[in-house]
């Protein structure tokens, strides 16, 4: 049986063209010409691929993509946004709601094939790793976008089965370390992009936050609080004219079960277990 592909495109000619292209790649295409009913169709038919326009009658493609990615049963559906919107902010918003690829019109057949391959390879990689769901988000270096992302993550956490208390702890940690990436990694240069990856395993949620800055040594951050002397950094911040603060890393470390930086210091991984780390260790989960 041929795998199903859904094409959401309001222009009839473009919808037919996309259907023929994906048919040549071995998919059985279905075309929907409006935004209504798309999420329900995806949930009922479980397509292996969705090509999604943004400007649709009835509902925005951004909203549809977010809904597909928010639902655990459809989270692994590869979504390729195909749109005439070619501004950087449009692409960033597309990735922020979980799209796997953003392709701008006009495009060549080879470019569409490459987008489809990218999205399908992502799903294969996630399934091979045993992860139950994975979403990549990209946001500009402004805390407003970070707040929007955290609202989305909060819904994902609760949907995963994490308790409200643990979801609140994890969103707080993401907020603190995301703000660090914006403020320190990118020096508040709004055009630079912070990447956040959400993964759900059988026993835990893993969040990775990465900036494009030079990184730092998390073991030697004189302007940040540390457990041995949590107030020592205040004098250093005052001497350097920095705002009060510096508790983000220390706070986040106490809110998650595991927290580690990469060697360069521009990527941090946060782990929250559903049962709590100590319980998992006791049960061998």
Comparing CA positions, the residue from 94, 85, 105, 87 lying closest to residue 13 is 105
Give residue 193's domain range.
133-283
Residues 46 and 106 in one domain: yes
How much of the chain is in helix, strand and coil states, percent to nearest 5?
45, 20, 35
Torsion of CA 274, 277, 279, 280, to 10 degrees: 80
Residues 77 and 150 in one domain: no
- CATH for 269: 3.30.565.10
Residues 216 and 186 in one domain: yes
Among 110, 129, 148, give the residue marking a domain's end: 129
Residues 119 and 190 in one domain: no
| Count of structural domains within the chain | 2
pLDDT at 190 (0 to 100): 79
Among 129, 149, 168, give the residue marking a domain's end: 129
Residues 105 and 157 in one domain: no
Query: For the chain, what is the total number of helices (H) and then of strands (E)?
Result: 10, 10
Residues 146 and 75 in one domain: no
Residues 222 and 147 in one domain: yes
- CATH for 108: 3.40.50.2300
Among 79, 110, 129, give the residue marking a domain's end: 129
Residues 107 and 241 in one domain: no
pLDDT at 243 (0 to 100): 47
Residues 90 and 212 in one domain: no
Residues 17 and 73 in one domain: yes
Residues 124 and 151 in one domain: no
Per-residue pLDDT of the chain (285 residues; tens, 9 = 90+): 899 999 999 999 999 999 999 999 999 999 999 999 999 999 999 999 999 999 999 999 999 998 888 777 788 899 999 999 988 778 878 877 788 899 999 999 999 999 999 999 988 877 776 556 677 777 778 777 777 776 667 666 766 778 888 888 888 888 888 888 887 677 778 788 888 888 888 888 899 999 888 877 666 554 554 555 554 445 554 555 544 444 567 778 888 999 999 988 899 999 999 886 544 443 444
Residues 95 and 9 in one domain: yes
């Amino acid at each position: 049986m041929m795998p199903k592909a859904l094409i959401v495109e309001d222009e009839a000619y473009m919808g037919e063209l996309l259907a023929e292209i994906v048919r040549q790649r071995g998919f059985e295409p279905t075309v929907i010409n409006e935004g209504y009913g798309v999420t329900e169709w995806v949930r009922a038919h479980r397509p292996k691929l969705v090509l999604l326009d943004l400007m649709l009658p009835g509902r925005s493609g951004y909203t549809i993509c977010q809904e597909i990615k928010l639902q655990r049963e459809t989270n692994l559906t590869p979504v390729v946004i195909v749109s005439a919107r070619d501004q950087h902010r449009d692409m960033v918003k597309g990735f922020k709601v979980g799209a796997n690829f953003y392709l701008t019109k006009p495009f060549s057949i080879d470019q569409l094939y490459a987008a489809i391959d990218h999205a399908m390879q992502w799903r294969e990689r996630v399934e091979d790793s045993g992860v139950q769901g994975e979403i990549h988000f990209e946001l500009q270096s402004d805390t407003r976008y970070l707040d929007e992302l955290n609202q989305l993550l909060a819904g994902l956490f609760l949907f995963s089965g994490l308790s409200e208390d643990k979801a609140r702890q994890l969103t707080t940690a993401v907020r603190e370390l995301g703000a660090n990436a914006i403020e320190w990694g990118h020096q508040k240069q709004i055009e630079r992009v912070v990447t956040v990856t959400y993964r759900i395993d059988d026993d835990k949620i893993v969040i990775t936050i990465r900036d494009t800055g030079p990184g730092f040594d998390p073991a030697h951050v004189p302007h940040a609080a540390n457990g041995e002397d949590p107030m020592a950094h205040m004098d250093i911040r005052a001497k350097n004219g920095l705002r009060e603060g510096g508790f983000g890393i220390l706070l986040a470390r106490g809110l998650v079960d595991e927290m580690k930086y990469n060697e360069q210091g521009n990527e941090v991984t946060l782990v929250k277990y559903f049962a709590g780390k100590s319980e998992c260790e006791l049960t061998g989960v």
